[in-house]
Amino acid sequence: MAKKQLDVLTALDVAKTQWYHFTAIIIAGMGFFTDAYDLFCITTVTKLLGRIYYNDPSLNKPGVLPAEITSAITGVAFCGTLLGQLFFGYMGDKLGRKKVYGATLLLMIFCSIASGLSFARSSNGVIITLCFFRFWLGFGIGGDYPLSATIMSEYANKKTRGSFLAAVFAMQGFGILAGGLVSLIVSTAFHDHAADLDRYRTSHRADYIWRIILMFGAFPASLTFYWRMKMPETARYTALVAKNASKAAADMSRVLNVQLQESSTKMQSNEPEYKLFSAEFFRRHGLHLLGTTTTWFLLDIAFYSQNLFQKDMFTSVGWLPKPAKMGAVHEVQKIATAQLIIAIVSIIPGYWFTVFLIDHIGRFTIQLIGFFFMSFFMFVLAIFYDFWKHHGAGFVVFYGLAFFFANFGPNSTTFIVPAELFPARFRSTCHGISAAMGKFGAIIGAFGVGYLADPTKIKSDANGVHAKLKPALYLLACTNALGFAFTYLVPETNGKSLEELSGETDGVEEKEKELKAMPTISV
């Protein structure tokens, strides 16, 4: 390994926390804020869509979306996200992280606006148009996962890398919160116009509600586009993949206060140049990739099922009124309020517990704790479901605890670890593959678990308890238990440099001792 390359890599690992680290967290994190908002705001308006476009005046009940339409609306974005993760992950390694980073935001901005402008002459036409634009919205969202994770991991020092990555991902919690808040504000603004209508009819003004909510997703994405374009390529990519240490040092010095001697050395890596998915790749990283893909896959089945269908769960245990007992706009308000409460008391705290503790107790331990308690609380909800039917507040408490340990657990760590384990030339691709397997799990959650939780197909037993929700909860509990077992395929990455984890360098520790004596300026 050439000296200059080693200097750049080690300087990144030992650099003190500086202002640009926080800037990078905001730039990358706003992408995840937008991602979560766009993916989860749809849950607050799906029932409204049923009332508007699938209402039959001859029936004395509110309109309801057919199960297949509900699954399509919620799941099509995940299909796009899966493909976007694979495509942009690969392009991030081939062209560089920065070159494709802005394209994801542009796609998200355009498709957020277009989703709200889904017009057609028929109800099915509106839904088809909406699904089309939400697919491409998901495609842009998918690119944010591997690119943001890789960029943040390659900028961070090894001491606080976990916290920085977790902070980026924690913005997802604020995105979910914003989805509930915006839905509540917009629906409240239109409430007076529809208040005089009975619960079986929906004012034409309500059609503006879901469109405004969806289009708002373009706003946070547009705020960070300029700053994404100003970010330099990561020094690790330039040094290890482009093999230009001089440019890597220059790019790093633009944003971080470190001192390096100038050199025009071209890089020659000591690491064998094996290819992705070659026999050597699988020998070195096969179990790692299996571990990151399976745990993310299993986590997302449970996590997205819980998020997307919590409104149906809460209605079934009486925490939310049944649709026939309230008007369309009032229903949006109730669902949005439930989402706000869950976000504030369990989702956001879970993310930030991870931020503060991950570099102290490690990724592996947090992931095991999370999967264990997610499984435990889901079993409690399933086994005593007859009891929870008449004690809805208790159900919500345990449901919220499951969310807390998802975020103080595998929902955070499955995002972090793939950005640390793999070599720089495969890092974005492997993270994209891992994330895509997660979204495959989310698709199963949206279409499979969503069918079990669909209110139009749920039958009641002799006691009036929704019989099909029990299997859904048992399924989620067993899925989390499997995630606990597969976590043992993933090694602990805490406190190690990226190159040490991936085997890209030798002798970094010795060079690190020299650079620790070099002065750095921190903010």
AA letter at 489: L
Residue 460 confidence class, pLDDT cut points 50, 70, 90 = very low
Q: Each residue of 138-168: pLDDT tens digit? A: 999 999 999 999 999 998 888 899 999 999 9
d(CA 430, CA 435) in angstroms, rounded, equals 8
Please give the pLDDT value at position 44: 86
Q: Which distant-in-sequence residues (6+ apart) come within 8 Å of 4 by Cβ? A: 245, 246, 249, 260, 261, 263, 265, 267
* Higher-scoring residue by pLDDT: 317, 127: 127
Residue 200 confidence class, pLDDT cut points 50, 70, 90 = low
pLDDT (mean) for 398-402: 86
pLDDT (mean) for 390-418: 88
Count the alpha carbons within 13 Å of 464 in the hemisphere toward its beta carbon: 7
pLDDT at 370 over 90: yes
Q: Each residue of 82-112: pLDDT tens digit? A: 999 999 999 999 999 988 998 999 999 999 9
Q: Minimum mean pLDDT among 164-173, 255-264, 375-384, 425-434: which range? A: 255-264
Q: What is the pTM of this model?
A: 0.86
pLDDT at 15 over 80: no
d(CA 441, CA 439) in angstroms, rounded, equals 5
d(CA 22, CA 447) in angstroms, rounded, equals 38
* Higher-scoring residue by pLDDT: 474, 433: 433
What is the CB neighbour count within 10 angstroms for residue 8? 28
Q: Each residue of 208-263: pLDDT tens digit? A: 999 999 999 999 989 888 888 888 888 889 888 888 888 888 888 887 776 554 44
Residue closest to 162 by CA, chosen among 351, 425, 336: 351
pLDDT at 449 over 50: yes
pLDDT at 467 over 70: no
Please give the pLDDT value at position 446: 75
Q: Are 12 and 517 in contact (CB under 8 A)?
A: no
Q: Which distant-in-sequence residues (6+ apart) come within 8 Å of 397 by Cβ? A: none
Mean pLDDT of the chain: 83
Please give the pLDDT value at position 250: 84
Instruction: Give the containing element (helix H, strand E) for 296.
Output: helix 279-308
Please give the pLDDT value at position 201: 62
pLDDT at 355 over 60: yes
Q: Each residue of 44-85: pLDDT tens digit? A: 888 889 888 887 776 677 778 887 888 888 889 999 999 999
% of the chain at pLDDT higher than 70: 81
Among the ranges 246-255, 265-274, 407-416, which has the highest mean pLDDT value?
Answer: 407-416
% of the chain at pLDDT higher than 90: 43
Instruction: Give the containing element (helix H, strand E) for 424.
Output: helix 424-444
pLDDT (mean) for 179-204: 73
The radius of gyration computed from the CA coordinates of the chain, to the nearest angstrom, equals 24
Burial 134-166 (b: 16+ CB within 10 A, else e): bbbbbbbbbbbbbbbbbbbbbbbbbebbbbbbb
Please give the pLDDT value at position 461: 46
- SS3 sequence, 306-322? HHHCHHHHHHHCCCCCC
Please give the pLDDT value at position 198: 54
Please give the pLDDT value at position 314: 67
Please give the pLDDT value at position 376: 95
> In the chain, what are the domains?
16-243+278-502 (1.20.1250.20)
Please give the pLDDT value at position 121: 80
